């Protein structure tokens, strides 16, 4: 009885299907997978398991929208404050100019 050849001799097989030949290696987990178990995601081949993990890690759209809205609110608040301080300064400048003019007039 001869033992089965070691893995180095046999061709790469799918991690999930021992009888299928692997077509790609997942860059995330390093395992080889068959055509059925690997999918394309953002231009690279990745196994379904890792894709699910990746998608789970990403914040969902609602969270992103909330963040975006918060940033928008922050920006509008800052611009409001800037405008307000600008007009405050302008008003002071007008008063200053009036005082100056009055001073010059007499």
Residues within the interface to Zn ion (CB under 5 A): 14, 16-17, 26, 28-29, 34, 36-37, 47, 50
25 alpha carbon, distance to own chain's centre: 25
Nearer to Zn ion, 24 or 34 (CB): 34
Measured at the alpha carbon of residue 15, what is the angle toward residues 13 and 46, in degrees to the nearest 5? 100
Can you read off the two tokens belonging to residue 51? Answer: 């894709």
CB of 52 to Zn ion, least distance (A): 10
CB of 30 to Zn ion, least distance (A): 7
Can you read off the two tokens belonging to residue 17? Answer: 């299907």
Nearer to Zn ion, 39 or 73 (CB): 39
CB of 35 to Zn ion, least distance (A): 8
Q: Are strands 24-25 and 32-33 parallel, antiparallel or unpaired?
A: antiparallel
């Amino acid at each position: 009885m001869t033992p089965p050849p070691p893995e180095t001799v046999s061709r790469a097989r799918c991690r999930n299907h021992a009888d299928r030949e692997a077509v790609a290696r997942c860059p995330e987990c390093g395992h080889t997978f068959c055509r059925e178990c690997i999918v394309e995601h953002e231009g690279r081949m990745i196994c379904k398991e890792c894709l699910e993990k990746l998608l789970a890690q990403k914040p969902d759209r609602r969270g992103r929208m909330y963040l975006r809205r918060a940033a928008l609110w922050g920006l509008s608040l800052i611009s409001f404050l800037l405008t307000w301080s600008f007009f405050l300064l302008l008003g002071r400048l007008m008063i200053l100019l009036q005082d100056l003019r009055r001073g010059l007039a007499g």
